[in-house]
Every structure is written in C-alpha cells, then in structure tokens.
Structure 1
Amino acid sequence: MLFHLSSIPSEHLQVMANAAQPATPGYTQAVNALPPAFVAARALEQMMAGDSAYWCSTFYIVATEEQHIVGSCGFKHAPRNGMVEIGYGISPECRRKGAASSAVQALLKLAFDGGVSQVLAQVNPDNLASTRVVQKLGFIEAGSYVDDEQENLVRWCFRQPNKDTELHEAVRQKS
C-alpha cells in the first residue's frame, strides 16, 4: 500500500483546534485519523507567532490509491540546535499497513532537506508498534524520561546520513 503526505490547510486546523472535524473534499477519513485538537492549536499558534510554515505544517497521511486519510503527522516545532522533533498518529483501523513508516520516512526527508542534522521521536515504551517503526528506520535510542504528565517516554534520534549517502538509500536499507 502506498501513502503520501498532504499538508493540512490552516482552515482545517482551525476547525480541528475546536475539536471538530473539517470537511475533506476528495478524501475519505478513517475514524480517529485526524490530529488531536491540541496539535492543531499548536500548529496555528506557531504560524501566528511567525514560525516558518515549513516547520509548523501538519500533514494528513493519505492512502494514495483510495485517497483515504489514515493518520496525521508533522514537526512539533522549528529546529533547535539542528534538531527537530516529529509526531505521528495512525487510526487504529489502519495500523500495520506501513502508514507510520511511510510518514516517518517522508518527515525525515523533509527535515534533512530543511537543513536539520537530527530528528527526534519520543515514544511511550508501551507503544510497541511505534517503537518498531523507529527501530526499523534506524533511529537510535537516546535515553528516557518521565514528562510533565507523568508519561514514560523514550527518546529516539535519527542523525542525518553522511553527505555522500542519499537519505532515501539509508532509510530504504533500514526497511
């Protein structure tokens, strides 16, 4: 199954920030495929603060053939010290089909094309599927901590491949 990312229009983010579902002409939606309200609100706040749309965009993860929205992903903030953090979520009914791996691969390419040297994914260790995604793609475990909401998280880091190596080759070899 093939997937692609489609940037979520700011009008859709405004609807989602109010915990509602936007109309998505041309697409069908899986249940719980859209980003949570706090993610949409964060993206809008960053845009209004003048952050680059490149880093505060949120994306639909779309099953290409069906034009079906199966999840969402994006960067959590603009790069800091050459690092950017990603987030992603897939509708429960659409998991185990490669959507998360495809989305993370696309985010890695966008991040490195945007000039960062490292990408961070923070994963709850109980989320075995997400842990498998980052491991398979070559992220390296870089410690763990308990966040402000008392959630255990493991930091996973992917460093930009050597300039002589194409990113897509490095990612493909890990798949």
Structure 2
Amino acid sequence: MNASFSLFELDMGQLTRLARAEVPLELEADALPESMPPAFIARLSLRLAEQGVPAPWCCTFLIRRTRDGRFVGACGFKAALEEGRVEVGYGVAPEARGEGAATAALRALIQKAFEAGAQAVLAEVEPHNHASLAVVRKAGLRWAGCRVDESGDEVEQWLRRSAD
C-alpha cells in the first residue's frame, strides 16, 4: 500500500458492533464521519466467516490515513473466491475523497487477492460514478462489460487479472 494509507483489519467483535450499526468505541475517536462500513457489509463478513470462508475473503478493512491516523473509509471482498475470481468493494468518507484513499485501498486489496491465490479481481461500478471509474482505472482494472444488477441498475464490470 502507498505510504499515505494503510489497511486496518476489523476483528469479529468490531464487525459484530458494526453489524448493529454501532461504531466500536475503540475506533470512534479516529473515525471520520461516514468512514465505517455499513451494517450490511459487516453482516456479510460475519456470515462469510460463519460459513468457514477463509481470510482474506471474509475480511473487512478500514482505510487509515497515515499522516493523522484517521480512518477515512472501508474496503473488502464481497464473497469467497470463486473460479479464481473475487469481487471487491470500497468506500471513502466524503471529507477524505480526492486524496487517493480509494485507489490505495483497491491496489492493496488486489495485492492481497493475488497473494491469496486469486487470478482475477472484479469491481462493479455504476456508470455515473465518475470518481469510482477513475479509481478502477488508476488501479489497473480494465473494462470487461456491463450487466444489470439485482436492483435493476446497469453496472460496469472492471477486471484485473494476475497476469496483467
């Protein structure tokens, strides 16, 4: 990861509190508003862990800004490795956007994925989300097509293969 940001892995207790929409007390003072993962993401990580999905696929990470130690966002894998591919997700607090946190976090997730045996990393981005489209491009993902997601919205699929 670049020197400006690092990943902080949430433990099961912290994920349990986040799943109840509570910010863990030990993280609260260092967290920017809207930097914590939403409750449904914490519940997903807990469910994957309960199913025996190994790390890193069941992990959720906070993105920590090095210069002040503040948590500026979150990222992680959305499911277990399947047929050599894993999907990633990320989000950054509004006041920290534009600092490179999402790009740094995505690059770190890609590295973790490849080190853990993935052959491809997928990110799905809504076509109007220009900031996220810039992030996936900067992180070396390539456009791989479009699909309609579960809520009926079109999303662009961006992929990076370990051979790239």
Please tell me the TM-score bracket, short chain as reference: over 0.9
Equivalent in the alignment of 2:147:
145
Match of 2:49 among 47, 53, 66: 47
Report how far residue 24 of structure 1 moved. Answer: 2.7
1:118 aligns with 2:120: yes
Amino acid at match of 1:18: R
1:30 aligns with 2:32: yes
Write the distance in 2 (CA, Å) between the matches of 1:53 and 1:145.
28
| Native 8 Å contact 1:26 1:67 kept in 2 | no
Equivalent in the alignment of 1:128:
130
Please give the per-residue CA displacement for 1:18-65, whole angstroms capped at 9, x wherever unaligned: 111111359611111000100000000110111103211000000012
Amino acid at match of 2:150: D
Please give the per-residue CA displacement for 1:63-116, whole angstroms capped at 9, x wherever unaligned: 012110000000111111110100000001100001001001100110010011
Task: Give the RMSD, CA atoms, in angstroms.
Answer: 1.4
SS at match of 1:53: coil
Write the distance in 2 (CA, Å) between the matches of 1:151 and 1:12.
32
Write the distance in 1 (CA, Å) between the matches of 2:114 and 2:104.
16
Write the distance in 1 (CA, Å) between the matches of 2:34 and 2:28.
18
Equivalent in the alignment of 2:79:
77
Amino acid at match of 1:66: D
Q: What is the TM-score of this pair, normalised by structure 2?
A: 0.94
Match of 1:18 among 14, 17, 20: 20
Report how far residue 123 of structure 1 moved. Answer: 0.5
Equivalent in the alignment of 1:171:
none
Unaligned runs of 5+ in 1: 163-175
Misfit runs of 4+, over 2 Å: 24-27
Write the distance in 2 (CA, Å) between the matches of 1:136 and 1:25.
29
In the superposition, relative to structure 1, how do residues 26 and 13 fare at CA in structure 2: closer, same or farther (>3 Å)? closer
| Native 8 Å contact 1:29 1:70 kept in 2 | yes
Equivalent in the alignment of 1:90:
92
- Pairs aligned (count): 162
Amino acid at match of 2:89: G
Unaligned runs of 5+ in 2: none
Please give the per-residue CA displacement for 1:101-148, whole angstroms capped at 9, x wherever unaligned: 100110011001001110000011111000001112221111112211
SS at match of 2:26: coil
Write the distance in 1 (CA, Å) between the matches of 2:49 and 2:139.
30
